[in-house]
Amino acid sequence: MRIKTYTAPSMAEAMNLVRREMGEDCVIVSTQRGEDGHGARVTAALEDIYPEDEQLESQEDDDDADDIEIIRQALTYHGTPARLSDRMVNSAEALEADNPTMAFAGAMDTLFRFSPLDDQEYLRPVMLIGTPGVGKTITTAKLAASATL
């Protein structure tokens, strides 16, 4: 993820800089007035797709690729602890799904509980997962704002 702060004489100009440099897919993390009370400061984030991600996506379309190996490579790439990675791979393998995405989704359903967050205090850790651009960063910002309020 790339995070960058832009300053300009006005909020509109700062937003134009953000959009011009980072594009429409970026997420605005914060907006503030300039240090002296004049101007504006905008912090924006953009989740990059790395060449390794593109390679894994192209492997997913290859009928000859071993689905379980694709899952193992993805977990390793993202730094998943070895014990959890082994549990995920074993669970995915037992499901005999049609493709690595469905095998991984099934393993997630088997090993983790998913439930809506209520308005009470967050007593347990929350994990947000997904491919780039699905809204993890904005969801985190909304959860933080909700918890603060």
Give the tens place of pLDDT for each residue, 3-50.
888 889 998 999 999 989 888 888 888 888 877 778 898 888 887 655
Q: Where are the beta strands (DSSP E) in the chain?
A: 2-8, 27-33, 40-46
Tell me 40's DSSP state.
E
Mean pLDDT of 53-62: 51
CB 104 within 8 A of CB 92: yes
CA angle 52, 54, 57 (to 5 degrees): 110
Give the tens place of pLDDT for each residue, 74-120.
888 878 888 999 999 999 989 878 888 899 999 999 998 877 766 56
**Tokens 């359903």, located at residue:** 109
CB 108 within 8 A of CB 127: no
Q: Distance between terminal CA atoms of the chain?
A: 27
Separation of CA 93 from chain center: 25
As to burial, measured by CB atoms within 10 angstroms (0-12 exposed, 13-18 middle, 19+ buried), residue 37 is exposed
Mark 72-87 as b/e (b = at least 16 C-beta within 10 Å): bbbbeeeebeeeebee
